[in-house]
Amino acid sequence: MKELSGDYLTLFLAGIFGMLLLSVALVIFFVLYQRRILAEERKRVEKEKVHQLALLSAAVEVQETERRRIASDLHDDIGSLLSATRLYLQQLSADASAEKTESIKTESLNILDEMIQNTRRITHDLLPPVLEKFGFQAAAEDLCERINKSGSIHVSFSSNIDERLAPKREIALYRVLQELVNNTLKHAGAKNIDVNINWARNLFSFVYQDDGKGFEQTEQVGKGLGLRNIESRISLINGNLESISKPGEGIRVDITLPT
């Protein structure tokens, strides 16, 4: 009887010891699992920080590029025309012949007309009047029509919206459309572009697609084609961007905005 009681005691103690080992193992597993989750979360946060810094850097670069372009336009176009006008006007004198005076006047007026046209072009590039007056939908349609008239590529445009977005969003979306079109014309060798704008309930969507040569979606190539700059513009207006491209299959860019 005592021997049987001893066996029960041994089994009891073994059970307790086993439970303790299992408990310790569970605690260790839980701690390691938590550490792994925390490590993955830290990696995710760090990756997101790097991504956001890259977007911020791209946004700054976009602004600086636009400023340099504007400065170049003003210097090369307006500045040179003003200098030319000054040279012509310096030739005027009290004893100049009527024929020479008329010639200088004609040339000066021609230069001023060209200057006015260039000023309008620069102003249109900065903020198209149709965008300011009628919104993104009208400006996007106008841009697509102008490209169609050039005969270099066919652009299909469709939209179901009749309301305006916030001005900051409209400008950002228009700049994105411009950059996408420029990328297609410069790099893609496409024959067709499709632009679709849709506003359903609380979601605004903007889809751009071409049938060009496409590319492998690596970070380096994406930067080269300006997708990082485009993503930075969309992130600044709290939007989301997804792009799909493969060699020989063109590119599709989906942009969504909560409204």
**How far apart (Å, rounded) are the C-alpha atoms in residues 179 and 181?**
5
Predicted confidence (pLDDT) per residue in 158-196, tens digit: 998 878 889 889 988 998 998 899 889 888 889 999 999
DSSP β-bridge partners for residue 158: 196
Residue 191 phi, psi (nearest 5): -105, -25
Longest Cα–Cα distance in the chain: 143
Q: What is the mean pLDDT of each run of 10 residues along the chain (259 residues)?
A: 59 77 84 83 75 63 69 76 82 79 86 84 77 90 90 91 87 90 87 93 92 74 62 86 89 91
> Average per-residue pLDDT in the chain?
81
Q: What is the pLDDT of residue 155?
A: 94
Q: What is the pLDDT of residue 7?
A: 65
**How far apart (Å, rounded) are the C-alpha atoms in residues 90 and 53?**
53
Q: What residue spans define the domains of the chain? A: 2-124, 129-258
- DSSP one-letter string for 195-234: EEEEEETTEEEEEEEE-S------HHHHHHTTHHHHHHHH
Q: What is the pLDDT of residue 221?
A: 44
Q: What is the pLDDT of residue 144?
A: 92
Match domain 129-258 to its CATH number in 3.30.70.1290, 3.60.40.10, 3.30.565.10, 3.40.50.300.
Answer: 3.30.565.10
Tokens coding 172: 């950002």
Q: What is the pLDDT of residue 104?
A: 83
